[in-house]
Amino acid sequence: MQGTLSVWLAKRGLIHRSLGFDYQGIETLQIKPEDWHSIAVILYVYGYNYLRSQCAYDVAPGGLLASVYHLTRIEYGVNQAEEVCIKVFMHRSNPRIPSVFWVWKSTDFQERESYDMLGITYDSHPRLKRILMPESWIGWPLRKDYIAPNFYEIQDAY
């Protein structure tokens, strides 16, 4: 079963894949990395004017990485906002996707955190640098194949 957004995108020849619905009935769509920026602009124009959250995760050790976007269509006078979840999968050997900072400014720190923890490069992001780990940190701590260094030092906690 396809949701209304999936049908709307298919009618316009926009390539995507429906991944079904979550437990709340929110449609989840998979978008290819090379199509993500243009589809993000189309979704914004279509009315998805609020980026509720962006996160990323490691699908499997040595496997794909995913960047996930939860979008909401907020309209005046509508009691139930329409929502969609977008997943963009990429290979860990070259994890690059277009940044949607210029579409939804609220993704600024969220894309930076995904870069810092998983090493996903968001092309055209204006300030893509580490946000949680020191700049000198080697590796991507939330990847499932990450090996934690054993040189931690206990420092003053006050």
> 157 or 51, which is more confident?
51
CA 22 – CA 79 distance, rounded (Å): 20
Instruction: Output the CA–CA distances (angstroms, integers) from residue 113 to 10, 110, 148, in the order listed.
Output: 32, 5, 18
Q: What is the pLDDT of residues 107-155, one digit of tens each?
A: 999 999 999 999 999 999 999 999 999 988 889 999 998 887 765 555 5
Please compute the mean of the pLDDT values over residues 95-106 and round it to a whole number. Answer: 96
85 close to 68: Cβ distance less than 8 angstroms = yes
Residue ranges of the alpha helices (H) in 12-145?
36-46, 108-118
Q: What is the pLDDT of residues 71-85, one digit of tens each?
A: 999 888 878 888 999
Q: What is the pLDDT of residues 26-37, one digit of tens each?
A: 999 999 999 999
> 1 or 129, which is more confident?
129
pLDDT for 151 equals 59
pLDDT for 57 equals 97
Other Cβ atoms within 10 Å of 35 Cβ, number: 15
- Mean pLDDT over the full length of the chain: 89
Domains within the chain, CATH numbers bracketed? 4-154 (3.30.460.80)
Identify the burial level of 114 via C-beta atoms within 10 angstroms of its C-beta, where 0-12 means exposed, 13-18 middle and 19 or more buried: buried
pLDDT for 136 equals 87
Which residue(s) pair with 70 in the sheet? Answer: 53, 85
Please compute the mean of the pLDDT values over residues 15-30 and round it to a whole number. Answer: 90
pLDDT for 12 equals 82
Which one-letter DSSP state was computed for residue 63?
S
Identify the burial level of 121 via C-beta atoms within 10 angstroms of its C-beta, where 0-12 means exposed, 13-18 middle and 19 or more buried: middle
Tokens encoding 111: 């894309």
Please compute the mean of the pLDDT values over residues 93-113 and round it to a whole number. Answer: 96
Please compute the mean of the pLDDT values over residues 93-116 and round it to a whole number. Answer: 96
CA 22 – CA 7 distance, rounded (Å): 17
Asked if the model's pLDDT at residue 63 lies above 60, the reply is yes
